[in-house]
Amino acid sequence: DRQVMSDLDSAVAFAAAHQGDQNRLGVIGFCRGGRNTWLYDAHNPRLKAAVSFYGAIQSPTSAIQPQSLLDVAAEIHAPMLTLNGRKDGASKVDYLEAVAAKARAAGKVVEVVLYDDAGHGFHADYRPSYVQADAIDGWNRAMAWFKKYGVA
Per the annotation, the verdict on 77 as an active-site residue is no
CA atoms within 13 A on the CB side of 104: 10
The pLDDT of residue 57: 74
The alpha-helical segments, DSSP class H, found in 28-113 are 32-43, 69-72, 93-105
Contact (Cβ atoms closer than 8 angstroms) between residue 35 and residue 55: yes
**Neighbouring-strand partners of residue 49:** 26
Active-site option among 1, 41, 88, 134: 88
Respond yes or no: is residue 120 known to be catalytic. Answer: yes
The catalytically annotated residue of 1, 41, 120, 134 is: 120
pLDDT band at 132 (very low <50, low <70, confident <90, very high): very high
Residues 81 and 100 sit within 8 Å (Cβ to Cβ): no
What φ, ψ does residue 130 adopt, rounded to 5°?
-60, 130
What distance lies between CA 23 and its chain's CA centroid? 19
Q: What is the Cα–Cα distance from 12 to 137, expressed in whole angstroms?
A: 28
Which of 31, 41, 123, 134 is catalytic? The answer is 31
- Known catalytic residue at 94: no
The mean pLDDT value for 6-27 works out to 97
Instruction: Let me know: does 40 contact 64? Beta carbons within 8 Å.
Output: no
Tens digits of residue pLDDT in 60-115: 899 999 999 999 999 999 999 999 999 987 768 899 999 999 999 999 999 999 99
Evaluate whether 95 touches 70 at the Cβ level (below 8 Å).
Answer: yes
Predicted confidence at residue 55, as pLDDT, reads 74
State CA 131 to chain mean position distance.
19
Contact between 86 and 122 under an 8 Å Cβ cutoff? The reply is no
Entry pTM:
0.95
